[in-house]
Structure 1
Amino acid sequence: MRLGGDAIALEKGAADHEPDPRFASAWTLAPSRRPDRPLLIAVHGSARDHLQTRDAFDNLATRRDIHVLAPLFPSDVTRLGYSDGYKFLREPGVDYAMLLESMVAAFRARFALGSQPAYLFGFSGGAQFALRYALVAAGKLSGAVIAAPGAVTLLDAELPWWPGVAGIEQALGRPVDAQGLKQLPVHLIIGANDSNQGLVARGPDHPDYSPFADVAGADRHQRLAALKESLDKSGLKPGFECLDGVGHELGPLAEAASNAIENWL
């Protein structure tokens, strides 16, 4: 569905997540407000710029009449100075996969939406979230775009979690959703000039330290290439884009993601 005519004023909003107000979300409603329109979940990077992440998909929302939901996963939730929990789906007392599903359910209830198809986008730290969520909940998604993650999880059952998926069920309480992954379109995106801005090295005292952290490579380009190879070997055949002249930037990557999602739609 494409909307034509004059420019459309999109209806937007934001609120704390009522079951746990430590978290929040922002949204854009599909111009038609129809309950059966698709939903895009757009996950911010380490800068926690969830409003900008939501707004990066205004053109897609207008062109294709879709809803956009952008969660806010703040830092310092359970310990001062710790900001990585959402990237790995867990920190003490917080299950981020369940939290996202609760946010989606609350959004659908607030606006009387149906169980329409859900697409997932993540940028940088949010791409780590999107990848790992897709691994355990692919059956809940209609497509996933992974844009410039700083670290990746390979579909390697011999490699310990989180660089691989050995022990994932013990770590997250969920196994790899192998059946769902077989049906899930995945698109990988990175800027050709991504110079590893914000790339994190985690030492042995970090909660998410792994001695295998660099097994996929030393930088974002090598790691995303290793992820593509891992997904290819598993039969998933992801799309892959390296954008000329683009660094570690949300805007151009969101635009490329919009095109991928539009093709899926």
Structure 2
Amino acid sequence: MSQSPERDAQGAHFIGGTPFFASQHDQRLSYALYVPKDHTPQAPPLPLVVIQHGTGRSAELYRDRWKEFAIRHRCIILTPLFPAGIGEPGELHNFKFLKYQDMRFDEELLYMVDEVGERFNAQRERFVLHGFSGGGQFVHRFFYVHPDRLAGVSIGAPGRITQLDDTLPWWIGTADFEERFGVGIDLEALRSVPVHMVVGAEDVETWEINNVGGPNWMDGVEKTGRTRIERLRTLRDNFEAHGIKVRLDIVPGVAHQGVGVAPAVQEFVADVLARNLTS
């Protein structure tokens, strides 16, 4: 773990766009990186930006699309991969809700962050986290459990939202949150994290998010809005009612496309990195 990557036939795969590495904590899971090619173990650790995939598991696409950003803004991009089918064949949604059977996907991400910090000379105490669609579901729930680990969070077009409301059952709301996750909601910590929400202005298809009776359906979802735009506005209003400031971008001409909203996300992340947040 502590051995420095070498710029040779072996070490060449530890800089630039890397392969997917099995997590050393749980080898069912893996991650890839983009590491600026001039970064060395002797240099100050670079900030870490985590891009969480959605249902389609497009982790490699996000790694490659964030390459130029990593070079320009001097950071390391981490793209976790939580495979479909963990626990049961064809299972698609478990990571979005953080806890599934014996797994805590939020904690597994933190193990990856710590591993990357050690192996690739990255800051690991606090990092920027973005996710789109199913990734947007994961990141806002991760934010509730681990605000102390986040330098900023960008929530992209989640189809299902969890409001800060202890009168509503998990995962529509946060009733029994402490029993489930071992920590309470820390509103002061949440208020200290820069929050971005983003969705395409043409993201209006509802076939995937209004699937009554589906494995990721819960009665009450329909009350949060019909489209992803409406649901994200509901989440924004919920945050602001609790004193959490939100930047909301509704991107013209973009449907349900993570790549399409990427420029708005990168503008937010660049602003966070420019604040010179360190570990």
TM-score by length of 1: 0.90
Report the Cα distance in structure 1 between the residues aligned to 2:120 and 2:214, rounded to whole angstroms.
44
The residue identity in structure 1 corresponding to 2:76 is H
Q: State the Cα RMSD in Å.
A: 1.9
Among 120, 137, 151, which residue is 1:128 paired with? 137
1:84 to 76, 93, 99: 93
1:181: which partner in 2? 190
- Following superposition, the deviation at residue 205 of structure 1 comes to 7.3
**What displacement does 1:233 show?**
0.6
Alpha-carbon distance between aligned partners in 2 of 1:13 and 1:82, rounded to the nearest angstrom: 25
- How many pairs align? 256
Match of 1:67 among 51, 76, 95: 76
Question: Residue 6 of structure 1 corresponds to which residue in structure 2?
Answer: none
Which blocks of at least 5 consecutive residues in structure 2 are unaligned?
1-14, 274-279
Kept after mapping to 2: 8 A contact 1:197/1:248: no
What SS does the aligned partner of 1:107 have?
A: helix
- Structure 1 residues 28 and 116, CA gap change in structure 2 (3 angstroms): farther
Measured after TM superposition, the shift of residue 242 of structure 1 is 0.6
| Structure 2 residue identity aligned to 1:29 | V
1:52-103 Cα distance to aligned partner (Å, 9 max, x none): 1222212211111101100001111001221111100011011111100111
Matched residues in 2 for 1:82 and 1:13: separation? 25
- Comparing 115-124 with 73-82, which one deviates more in the overlay? 115-124
**Greater mean alpha carbon deviation, residues 111-120 or residues 229-238:** 111-120
Q: TM-score, normalised by structure 2?
A: 0.86
Alignment check: 8 A CA contact 1:153 1:165 kept: yes
Give, in angstroms, the shift of residue 16 of structure 1.
1.2
Aligned with residue 109 of structure 2, among 93, 96, 100: 100
C-alpha distance in 1, partners of 2:58/2:208? 17
Q: Is the 8 A contact 1:89 1:172 kept in 2?
A: no
Structure 1, residues 134-172: CA drift from partner, whole Å, max 9, x if none? 011111100000111111111122221111111122233
Moved more, 25-34 or 254-263: 25-34
Aligned residue in 2 for 1:222: 230
Aligned to 2:36: 30
Return the offset for 1:174. Answer: 3.1
Query: 2:8 maps to what in 1?
Result: none
Secondary structure of 2:154's aligned partner: strand
Note if contact 1:14-1:24 (Cα within 8 Å) is conserved in structure 2.
yes
CA distance in 1, matches of 2:52, 2:240: 24
Aligned twin of 1:119: 128
Instruction: Describe the SS at the equivalent of 1:142.
Output: strand
Q: Judge which range, 213-222 or 229-238, deviates more.
A: 213-222
* 1:246 correspondence with 2:254: yes
Conserved 8 A contact 1:191-1:245: yes
Q: Is the 8 A contact 1:137 1:177 kept in 2?
A: no
Distance 1:197 1:105, change over 3 A: farther
User: Offset of 1:176 from its aligned partner?
Assistant: 1.9
Q: CA deviation at 1:247?
A: 0.8
Task: State how far apart, in whole Å, the 2-side matches of 1:15 and 1:74 are.
Answer: 13
Structure 1 stretch 93-102 or stretch 151-160: which is displaced more?
151-160
CA change 1:198–1:17 in 2 (3 A) is farther
Residue of structure 1 in register with 2:203 after alignment: 194
Q: Distance in 2 between matches of 1:161 and 1:49?
A: 27
CA apart distance, 1:31: 4.5
CA distance in 1, matches of 2:34, 2:129: 15
Moved more, 170-179 or 16-25: 170-179
User: Does residue 147 of the first structure (1) align with residue 153 of the second (2)?
Assistant: no
| Cross-structure match for 2:67 | 58
Deviation sequence 1:123-142 (CA, Å, 0-9, x none): 11001000100011111100
Show the counterpart of 2:7: none
Structure 1 equivalent of residue 4 of structure 2:
none
8 Å Cα contact 1:48-1:74 kept in structure 2: yes
One-letter identity of the residue aligned with 1:15: F
Partner of 1:3: none
